[in-house]
Structure 1
Amino acid sequence: MSDILLVHGSCHGAWCWRDLIPELAALGHDVRGMDMPSHGQDDTPLSEVTLESCTASVVNALAKDTVVVAHSWGGFPATLAADIAPEKLNRLIYLCAYVPRDGHSLVDMRKMAPRQPILKAVDRAADGTSYRVHADYAEEVFYADCPKSTIDYAIANLSPQATLPQATPAHLGAGHLDVPRSYIRTLYDNAIPTEFQAEMVAGWPRSDVYEMATSHSPFFADPKGLAALIDQITKD
């Protein structure tokens, strides 16, 4: 079985893997979530969060031969971590995540998408240094097919997201190219349009691209199905 590290997306934390962790553990995997700086149990001030510090937090959470599952924005620091320590990764699984392009920031890549459904849920701070998820649109954008009690749980735990790391271009080396990678597309995604997810992996082997008929949060919408798919990918 695999050592699996779960890397969360914007405004989330290790708490978002609440339902997925036991499903993966039941399949025999050693699995854990982590908090990037300023999220979950990490108390780093938002003003101190950088792309480099987010990347370092992923590198520090790696064990030996780790399968990294990165959700959404988590694809950026996870890819950069693979650049730094490719020998520690068994595989990188992008879960409806951004696949960084050299010299581009997450903001740059978001703007490349043909649609911007996520913007209605972005509540920017007056000084522009962070943003929150607008509670009125959280369900529609992130949790459209999730149980009501789960949506309430998620909204109560969402935290502000520092803008700087997502506005910082990623400068990629060759290390991450040595790591096997897979992508899980979410077909009813109101945060990262599914057609843009397809575009990001257009040149990948079809055998490395999977699909789930869920929203942007399959770890809440279908944790058992997601665990089964991750299990399958680790065995392929």
Structure 2
Amino acid sequence: MATYVLIPGGGADPWYWHLLVDELRDRGHDVVAVDLPSDDDSAGLAEYADAAVEAVGDRENLIVVAHSLGGFTGTLLCDRVKVDLLVMLQAMVPKPGESPGEWWAATGYEQARREQDERDARAPDDDRTLFYFDTPPELIAEAAKHPRGQSATPMMKPWPLATWPDVPTRFLLARDDRFFPAEFLRRVVQDRLGIVPDEMPGDHMPMLSHPKTLADRLEKYRLDLTEHP
């Protein structure tokens, strides 16, 4: 049995993981959906990492799944506790000395998003298409009941690690995401991690749009790690 530790993206609470939680628990695993203090202006990356460490407690056999902005917290957790595998899910890939706020310009995100918006002919205020391109409508409606602010505080200070944590790492890319376009993320992952990302269908919230497929991918990673440690 593994313990899956799910790290949310910006302004997200544990609800967003509930379908994946059910999938993984049905397969016999422990699951921790971390609740980060994203709407607390006194909390930065250090406090986010503290919250993740506290949520894990004394659990073992950890597989950390970090989504979007959660890539900054997930990597810090890997530096604090023993982790068997880190899965970056449509995640921001930190670089030493760079803050989350600097990440956007450093990676060329704005141009990539502008080009994606032009391809999609997306209206600037159409957040539904931006984040929930293929999420079922009933889940989009439910998501609206879970508003969570995202403080700018964790965007201010640099990612504090000197190197990437010494943990086996996989990157899983949702190829239909309009917020982090696939072509953009392929480049960032290759440049910063030196690996080719794996790909699955899904928008920016694949835990809602394709929870079973996501669980299948995570389980394959776990089995691959067991067979080829």
TM-score (normalizing by structure 2): 0.84
Mapped to 1, the partners of 2:100 and 2:195 lie a distance apart of: 24
Report if aligned partners of 1:47, 1:162 keep a CA contact under 8 Å in 2.
yes
Deviation at 1:18, TM superposition (A): 1.2
- 150, 156, 162: which is aligned to 1:167? 156
- 61, 76, 85: which is aligned to 2:55? 61
Q: Deviations over 1:141-171 (max 9, x none)?
A: 1111011110011122021100010232112
Q: 1:10-89 residue pairs with structure 2 within 5 A?
A: 10-38=10-38, 46-62=40-56, 63-85=59-81, 88-89=82-83
Query: How much identity, in percent, do the aligned residues show?
Result: 31
- 174, 183, 195: which is aligned to 1:195? 183
Q: Deviations over 1:27-54 (max 9, x none)?
A: 2221121100146xxxxxx221211101
Considering fraction of residues, name the structure with more strand.
Answer: 1
Mapped to 2, the partners of 1:165 and 1:116 lie a distance apart of: 22
Instruction: Note if 1:215 corresponds to 2:203.
Output: yes
Report SS of the residue matched to 2:207: helix
Mapped to 2, the partners of 1:210 and 1:137 lie a distance apart of: 28
1:43 paired residue number: none
Number of matched pairs: 208
Instruction: Note if 1:116 corresponds to 2:113.
Output: yes
Q: Any gaps of 5 or more consecutive residues in structure 2?
A: 118-124, 225-229
Deviation at 1:116, TM superposition (A): 3.3
- In structure 2, give the amino acid aligned to 1:115: A
Mapped to 1, the partners of 2:195 and 2:38 lie a distance apart of: 36
Report if aligned partners of 1:83, 1:173 keep a CA contact under 8 Å in 2.
no
Q: Deviations over 1:65-99 (max 9, x none)?
A: 310101000000111121233xx211110000011
Report if aligned partners of 1:14, 1:34 keep a CA contact under 8 Å in 2.
yes
Deviation at 1:229, TM superposition (A): 0.5
Report SS of the residue matched to 1:183: strand
Deviation at 1:173, TM superposition (A): 3.3
Instruction: Note if 1:6 corresponds to 2:2.
Output: no
2:101 paired residue number: 107
Q: Any gaps of 5 or more consecutive residues in structure 1?
A: 40-45, 121-135
Deviation at 1:190, TM superposition (A): 1.6
Deviation at 1:107, TM superposition (A): 2.0
Instruction: Note if 1:140 corresponds to 2:134.
Output: no
Q: Deviations over 1:103-133 (max 9, x none)?
A: 111221122224236xx9xxxxxxxxxxxxx
CA RMSD in angstroms comes to 1.8
2:194 paired residue number: 204
TM-score (normalizing by structure 1): 0.82
> Runs of at least 4 residues of structure 1 off by over 4 A?
none
1:123 paired residue number: none
Mapped to 1, the partners of 2:213 and 2:130 lie a distance apart of: 21
Report SS of the residue matched to 2:216: helix
Q: Deviations over 1:6-42 (max 9, x none)?
A: 1110111111011111111122221121100146xxx
